[in-house]
Amino acid sequence: MESFAHLLDRLVLTPSRNGKIRLLVDYFARTPDPDRGYALAAITRDLDVASVKPAMLRGLMNERMDEVLFKLSYDYVGDLAETIALVWDSEQRTAGQGHDVQPASDKSAADLSLTQIVETLNTLGKTEAMGQVSNWLDQLDASGRYALLKLVTGGMRIGVSARLAKQALSEFGKRYIKIDIIEIEELWHGLEIPYEDLFAWLEGKADKPSHLAAAPFRPAMLANALADSDMRKLDPDHYAAEWKWDGIRVQVTSEGGTRRIYSRTGDDISRSFPDLVEAMDFEGSLDGELLVGRPNNTGEIEIGSFSDLQQRLNRKTVSKKLLVTHPVVVRTYDLLADETTNLRDQSFEMRRGQLEAFAKRLDPTRFDISPLIPLTNWDDLAQLRENLPHPVIEGVMIKRWDSIYVPGRPKGPWFKWKKDPMLIDAVLMYAQRGHGKRSSYYSDYTFGVWTEDDALVPVGKAYFGFTDEELKQIDKFVRDNTVERFGPVRSVKAQRDFGLVLEIAFEGIQRSKRHKSGVAMRFPRISRLRWDKPPHEADSLTSIESLLTP
Amino acid sequence: MRPDQLLHPTPKGLYCPVSDFYIDPVQPVDRALITHGHADHARSGHHSVWATEQTLDIMAIRYGEEFCSERHVANLRETFVLNGVTIGFWPAGHVLGSAQILVEHQGLRIVASGDYKRRRDPSCLSFEPVPCDVFITEATFALPVFRHPDDVGEIQKLLSSVQQFPESAHLVGVYALGKAQRLISLIREAGHNKTIFIHGALKKLCDYYETQGVELGPLSSATLAKGEKGDFAGSIVMGPPSAFTDKWARRFPDPIICFASGWMQVRQRARQRGVELPLILSDHCDWDELLDTILEIKPREVWVTHGRDDALVRWCELNQIKARPLHLVGYEDESE
């Protein structure tokens, strides 16, 4: 348990992706089975153990320790699990026992393994679990107590996505065998905790585990970005064009009674979309875009806005009301399997034909086909891209008619040609120091635009889009023109005739009640530094409101 | 005599009206007794100063030889009489030269402990309990959440990260007086003998510790001449935390920001400061040590100076120990 707890402590505070991967790889290398497998499952949130409610923990603490001292502690720390982890066994002092207290080093914490904890919890009900947790808290040190409490309260927020964990697994495997992360994604849902066969394969001690899962994930085929000039070299006769919808790329698979919705990277997101799962009464596997939408009176599906879709994202549970007001649909791109027939080794042209036939059998309120755009020459397509017919289209896709469906991002067969970003000129207002490598730089910028009474109102934050050289220049500007400091944040001189104008690129702008300005940008980044532009020429709130996504 | 007739808080610091002196005054006064050399306790500009020889040396290093008009060396574990009041200095275990101050008059004994800790520290003398009627304690970490772990484990955290990330420089934020030298000593005890690079702000005090018999091993300046390129990969670099958010830190490859402080016990604190590797290492008592000390000394009354007095006073109440907060101002809560 000690090394798992230590791993969590490090992961939480390590900002860099590569740093996190290194920590995970080292942990997998030095931790035996099945501990490392349970740790992996805890990190990817696939581990399902008897849970303990925060209210029960609070109750337990009130029995054990003076209420005032606990409250002062909790107020200071702000996190229940961490407070309990730290104050545990301090209550013995309040009884005035003083010197009789056993020092922590005498405890047998090292003996308690993560495996023991997980396997015991699996056999217990909720009420028994609480008593057992309390016993373990006595045996663990503060770091171990924190890890245990996070494990049983299900609040393991450590900044590691399942995708990152898989990346670490593939890095770990590369020490012993030739492997691509796609292989892990493909296998993932057929594997069982604690993943002993996976680790044996990665260490070169056993063959690749065989595909056991029903409705497995088929690693997605991705497109390369296309520059305007590239396209002139391509023969339009060889390509199909379609809209690039701005939702969530998904794979919906229903095979032998198992129904799953996968994200692009193979995460099972079925639980968030029960309405869609219910409509998946087919046998096969489809590739498409998940969007919010409902049929209009002609029976065609009308797509909702991106902010409608956001209502449905990152939710563990979905309310009945939301299911009614924000139903999700899939606009299909491709057919990967029809019944039990694999279609991925056929051409896009063949698959598209099959998809059209297949789609006729699908629930028309939940599924339709992403239409093809007639393609005769690139100039016409460029015209279309300039005048996209729907706000939830973010560009066009170009696919070779003869392309087979291969995992990953092969060069050549598929291209995405996104619409140009929106641009505004804004004024730098606040700068915050970065983390890790950037901790000596002011690298996170809040920028604003002018209101009607000539004041600046913040409209967004950006922390990338500039070169290292530009970062140094902005950092110098911030240090030379600081007005006030608030911890790691500085406010910067920003007046009508003096300040730094930033050209901001973004993908769309929406109304937002959470922001003072009333608007929120999607994916803002710095596209240019406008040293040449006086701040009073930057945009106004009125002018950026005219860009609002309908 | 009531205790507060012998010593009571004033805006300038703890004052003794019988003998006319202050303990750790925050403004210039005629006569000052100083517990230790940290800047919020030891200020320049007093007329006469009584302190241990090491504290006087440290004040001279920090403020120049003219930091006061008259210096009086107080020998440890000896008493002397000042205007009819008996005074004595005893080791406090906080930093080199740190002392608790005993003030005794007409049979009433008050000990002002200054800042103190109970852990072993290879860079200074250990705290010695002094029997007294009133014990004046600090409360920097007086909450049940502060339970400093074993030093050896914290040092190991640092050394194994140095091994795990050999291409990085580990930048460890430390307080220039005490924490830096203690951390270096502990790293040496753990068997790490490579050169440790230090920021210019640490140099004089490290040199001084060496003259006092605290061996720190090979140290080298982390500050480079213009145009010079250093090779800091795989090394430990120490400096005041503020230096690591400054342009100064850009010379280091893939830096990993560490901070050695009792505050690092709380994860959110570490996160807010952008610390990647927190080292929980404090020169103050943790909660258990504060309580142990009170139970060991068994004073009739406890006075709490700066820090989290509410929790400590509450604990004293629960244990039928008379206690009061002094609400002294001018001492830094964040003095680590």
Q: What is the pLDDT of residue A96?
A: 40
Amino acid at A275: D
Nearest CA in chain A to B169: A437
Q: Tens digits of per-residue pLDDT, A22-32?
A: 999 999 999 99
* Separate counts of helices (H) and strands (E) for chain B: 8, 19
Q: Does the pLDDT at position A474 exceed 80?
A: yes
Within-domain flag for A208: no
The pLDDT confidence band at residue A105, using thresholds 50, 70 and 90, is: very low
Whether residue B146 lies within 8 A of chain A, CB to CB, comes out as yes
Mean pLDDT taken over chain B: 93
Choose, out of B140, B143, B151, B271, the residue to mutate when testing the contact with A (most A CBs < 10 Å): B143
Residue at a domain's end among A114, A131, A153: A153
Percentage of chain A surpassing pLDDT 70?
A: 95
Task: Summarize the confidence of residues A89-112 as an average pLDDT.
Answer: 50
Q: Does the pLDDT at position A91 exceed 90?
A: no
Q: Does the pLDDT at position A95 exceed 50?
A: no
The alpha carbons of chain B give a radius of gyration, in whole angstroms, of 20
Q: Which residues of A touch B165 (CB under 8 A)?
A: 19, 22
Q: What is the pLDDT of residue A98?
A: 39
Mean pLDDT taken over chain A: 89
Task: Summarize the confidence of residues A96-102 as an average pLDDT.
Answer: 40
- Cα(A138)–Cα(A256) distance, rounded to whole angstroms? 48
Q: Which of A294-308, B37-51, B252-266 has the highest mean pLDDT?
A: B37-51
A473/A380 same-domain check? no
Q: Decide: B164 and A22 in contact? Cβ < 8 Å.
A: yes
Half-sphere exposure of B206 (CA within 13 A, CB side): 26
Q: What is the pLDDT of residue A51?
A: 78
Q: What is the pLDDT of residue A536?
A: 94
A473/A515 same-domain check? yes
**Preceding peptide of A34 cis, ω within 30°:** yes
Q: Does the pLDDT at position A10 exceed 90?
A: yes
Question: Which one has a higher pLDDT value, A343 or A549?
Answer: A343
Q: What is the pLDDT of residue B333?
A: 56
Residue at a domain's end among A123, A153, A183: A153
Task: Summarize the confidence of residues B245-251 as an average pLDDT.
Answer: 84
Q: With CB atoms and an 8 Å threshold, state whether B144 touches A68.
A: no
Q: What is the pLDDT of residue B77?
A: 97
A301/A401 same-domain check? yes
Residue at a domain's end among A418, A448, A465: A418
Q: Decide: A282 and A259 in contact? Cβ < 8 Å.
A: no
Query: Looking at the DSSP assignment, which residues form a beta bridge with residue B112?
Result: B101, B136
Within-domain flag for A498: yes
A522/A387 same-domain check? no
CATH of the domain at A460: 2.40.50.140
- Cα(B7)–Cα(B15) distance, rounded to whole angstroms? 5
The pLDDT confidence band at residue A99, using thresholds 50, 70 and 90, is: very low
A363/A440 same-domain check? no
Using CB atoms, which residue from B247, B270, B314 is nearest to A13? B270
- Cα(B176)–Cα(B285) distance, rounded to whole angstroms? 19
Query: What are the start and end residues of each CATH 3.60.15.10 domain in chain B?
Result: 3-145+284-325
- Cα(B115)–Cα(B142) distance, rounded to whole angstroms? 12
A293/A388 same-domain check? yes
Q: Tens digits of per-residue pLDDT, B259-283?
A: 999 999 998 888 888 899 999 999 9
The pLDDT confidence band at residue A39, using thresholds 50, 70 and 90, is: very high
Q: Which residues of B touch A17 (CB under 8 A)?
A: none
A437/A523 same-domain check? yes
Q: What is the pLDDT of residue A437?
A: 75
Within-domain flag for A550: no
Q: What is the pLDDT of residue B226?
A: 66
Tell me how close the Cα of A180 comes to any Cα of chain B, in angstroms: 24
Q: Does the pLDDT at position A110 exceed 60?
A: no
The pLDDT confidence band at residue A254, using thresholds 50, 70 and 90, is: very high
A73/A98 same-domain check? yes
Q: What is the pLDDT of residue B33?
A: 98
Q: Tens digits of per-residue pLDDT, A261-306?
A: 999 988 889 999 999 999 999 999 999 999 999 999 998 999 998 8
Whether residue B147 lies within 8 A of chain A, CB to CB, comes out as yes
Q: What is the pLDDT of residue A307?
A: 81
For the B151-279 domain, the top CATH level (class) is alpha beta
A403/A498 same-domain check? no
The pLDDT confidence band at residue A5, using thresholds 50, 70 and 90, is: very high
Within-domain flag for A127: yes
Within-domain flag for A199: no
Helix axes A80-87, A54-64, angle to 10 degrees: 30
Q: Tens digits of per-residue pLDDT, A118-134?
A: 999 888 877 788 889 98
Q: Tens digits of per-residue pLDDT, A421-470?
A: 999 999 999 999 887 778 788 999 999 999 999 999 999 999 999 998 99
- Cα(B336)–Cα(A381) distance, rounded to whole angstroms? 64
A266/A399 same-domain check? yes
- The count of domains in chain A is 3
The pLDDT confidence band at residue B242, using thresholds 50, 70 and 90, is: confident
Minimal CA–CA distance to A158: which of A9, A296, A35? A9
Q: With CB atoms and an 8 Å threshold, state whether B310 touches A72.
A: yes
Q: What is the pLDDT of residue B332?
A: 67
Architecture of domain B3-145+284-325: 4-Layer Sandwich (3.60)
A379/A248 same-domain check? yes
Whether residue B50 lies within 8 A of chain A, CB to CB, comes out as no
A482/A500 same-domain check? yes
Whether residue B150 lies within 8 A of chain A, CB to CB, comes out as yes
The pLDDT confidence band at residue A100, using thresholds 50, 70 and 90, is: very low
Q: Tens digits of per-residue pLDDT, B80-103?
A: 999 999 999 999 999 999 999 999
The pLDDT confidence band at residue A365, using thresholds 50, 70 and 90, is: very high
Whether residue B277 lies within 8 A of chain A, CB to CB, comes out as yes
∠ CA B76-B77-B78, nearest 5°, is: 95
Query: What are the start and end residues of each CATH 3.40.50 domain in chain B?
Result: 151-279
Whether residue B81 lies within 8 A of chain A, CB to CB, comes out as no
For A480, the domain range is 422-545
Q: What is the pLDDT of residue A461?
A: 94
The least confident of A73-82, A102-111, B317-326 is A102-111
Q: Tens digits of per-residue pLDDT, B194-222?
A: 999 999 999 999 999 999 999 999 999 98
φ/ψ of residue A395, rounded to 5:
150, -165
